[in-house]
Chains A and B, each alone.
Chain A
Amino acid sequence: MSHHIVEVADLCYAYPDGTAALNGVNFCIHHGESVAIVGANGAGKSTLLLHLNGYLTPMQGRVRIGDYPLTKETLQDARRSVGMVFQDPDDQLFMPTVYDDVAFGPLNLGLPLDEVDLRVEAALSQVGALHLKDRPPYHLSGGEKRAVAIASVLSMSPDILVMDEPTTGLDPRGRRMLIEQLHSFQHTKIIATHDLDLVLDLCERTIVIREGRVTADGPTLDIFRDEAFLAESHLEKPLRLQACPICSRKG
């Protein structure tokens, strides 16, 4: 299948102050894949994500979303098929009520009002937040905010979900619920995170970024077994792959 593809080729980007953030990133993500993007702080993960929705334009190289290269002309289509969930839900929930927020995208797409209603209800029930419909977003808990932020993207029925640190600020149970929800989504998923246990649960493929370059791209388990490489990239084995501190002390 050629559609729902994300292809990044030789992508370079430097911030206006001269800091080079990306130095030739290459990868290709296919329909239905679930891919983690991991790396140290400042490795260039967020900069990369900002290219996937056309917020930053590459200085060199190109980005393809679906069947089109990402240019000014195709920007609207790309943003429609790439649903971006931000790290801080407060940045994403800017409307006065949860309903308005989830309806924001569909209304901007110019959908008929009945359809908007249907989509909002469907998106909210998918994340189990239908009961929050009429609440103002600033009164919600962290987990509820995250759920609504995801619903606000789902309501546009994107093909690709891009998430920046989806588990920050969630309590363990909220985190577990989020992982289960994400597991049930059929979308192509790209998740930038430090939560390697989440990666183990959700992503069969992992891309490691270091100093603006892809240093590894392959099956998650293979990458996580290479301890020397992980340490080099400022990462460590997911806790579940590490020896249990209590059992190993006994042994």
Chain B
Amino acid sequence: MARIDSTIFDLGSLDALAYRRSGIHALDPRTKVVTTALFVLTVVSFDKYTLSALLPFVLFPLALFVRAELPVGQILKKLLLALPFVFFIGIFNPWFDQRPLLEFGPLTITGGWVSFASILLRSVLTVTAALTLIATTSFTGICMALEKLGCPRVFALQLMFLYRYLFVLVEEATRLIRARALRSFHGRGHSLRVFGSLLGQLLLRSLERAQRIHLAMQCRGFDGEIRMRRPLGIHLRDVVFLLGWSGWFAVCRTWNLPQLLGTLFLELFA
């Protein structure tokens, strides 16, 4: 439990990065959300054996890292958390897909290994982009952007509250589990039945809390819309950012740049 605990609180540290100042942080959240979405869509739209054509996409998260002066280590650590899931999604490909695709002398590389590598590369790209988005925009900024972009308000609000109360919920769950641990001896008390009632408790408590929060909101004039004082506005820099990067994605999607570059080299030196 302690591990989940510290992981979640670490999530807060990612969000804390969003309060720094830089050219990237100053962009309108909508610009960053749309650009990141375009990035993710382009990256996943490639054929399953694509590897080299994906490489130029590294430029986007890399540029954001540098411009926003993000601590690389911290983001990479978060990335590592997501990787095991991806690993297990892709690890069976080499068994199912035995078709030889490449040959380096005696070494034959099957389609499965290539698609596995492709999955890994894509997830590193997309997860890094998503983490960078949070670290430069803050979770709230993203929710506001989603709402402004036409996402249903209920959904945006839910996300915002989920994020706010995740910490409270984890604390409550930790307390329940600690209370159980202190009174269960020799592994007794760890049965599924106890766990079930523990979960039930958590649900009931959350429902009650939700009621109290709703009451607190009503007391302060809540009418279905969350109003926040944030300067939002599309400036020239937003347009340049969006058009520039989507142009780059389009170029990388249409032409396989590393391959072109390789051919060019070969022609030059051949």
Q: Which of B128-167 contact A (CB under 8 A)?
A: 138-140, 160-161, 163-165, 167
Q: How many A-B residue pairs have CB under 8 A?
A: 83
Tell me whether A141 is interfacial, beta carbon within 8 Å: no
| A100 on the B face (CB < 8 A) | yes
Contact A76 B221 (CB under 8 A): yes
Residues in A with CB closer than 8 Å to B220 are: 79, 104-105, 108, 152-153, 156
Chain A residue, CB-CB nearest to B172: A90
B221 near A109: Cβ-Cβ < 8 Å: yes
- Assess whether A107 is in contact with B164, with CB atoms less than 8 Å apart: no
Which residue on chain B has the smallest CB distance to residue A83?
Answer: B219
Task: List residues of chain B with CB within 8 A of the CB of A136.
Answer: 12, 15
- Residue of B168, B213, B229 near A116 (CB, 8 A) is B229
A138 & B164 in contact (Cβ 8 Å cutoff):
yes
- Contact call B216/A86, Cβ cutoff below 8 A: yes
Number of A interface residues, CB 8 Å? 37
The listed residue (B161, B218, B229) touching A55 by CB distance below 8 A is B218
Looking at the complex, which one of B15, B212, B218, B227 makes contact with A91 (CB distance below 8 Å)? B212
Q: Which of A90, A99, A152 contacts B168 (CB 8 A)?
A: A90
Whether A91 pairs with B164 at a CB distance below 8 angstroms is no
Q: Least Cβ distance of A24 to chain B in Å?
A: 24
B228: CB under 8 A from chain A? Answer: yes
Interface bracket on B = 20 to 34
Of the residues B167, B213, B221, contact of A138 by C-beta under 8 Å: B167
Q: Helix, strand, loop or mixed for chain A's interface?
A: helix
A100 touches B161 (CB 8 A): no
Give the docked Cα–Cα distance between A109 and B222 (Å). Answer: 9
Of listed A80, A90, A109, A116, residue having the most chain B CB within 10 A: A90
CB <8 Å contact, B216 and A105: no
B212 with A88: CB separation less than 8 A: yes
Cβ-based interface call for B260 (8 A): no
What are the residues of chain B within 8 A of A97 when measuring CB–CB? 140
Q: A220: shortest Cβ distance to chain B, in Å? A: 27
Q: Mark A101-119, 1 if CB is under 8 A from B, else 0.
A: 0011101110001001100
In the complex, 21 of the A-B residue pairs with CB atoms within 8 angstroms, ordered by the A residue number, are A50-B215, A53-B219, A55-B215, A55-B218, A79-B218, A79-B219, A82-B219, A84-B219, A90-B209, A91-B212, A94-B165, A94-B216, A96-B160, A96-B163, A97-B140, A100-B228, A104-B222, A108-B223, A152-B220, A156-B220, A156-B221
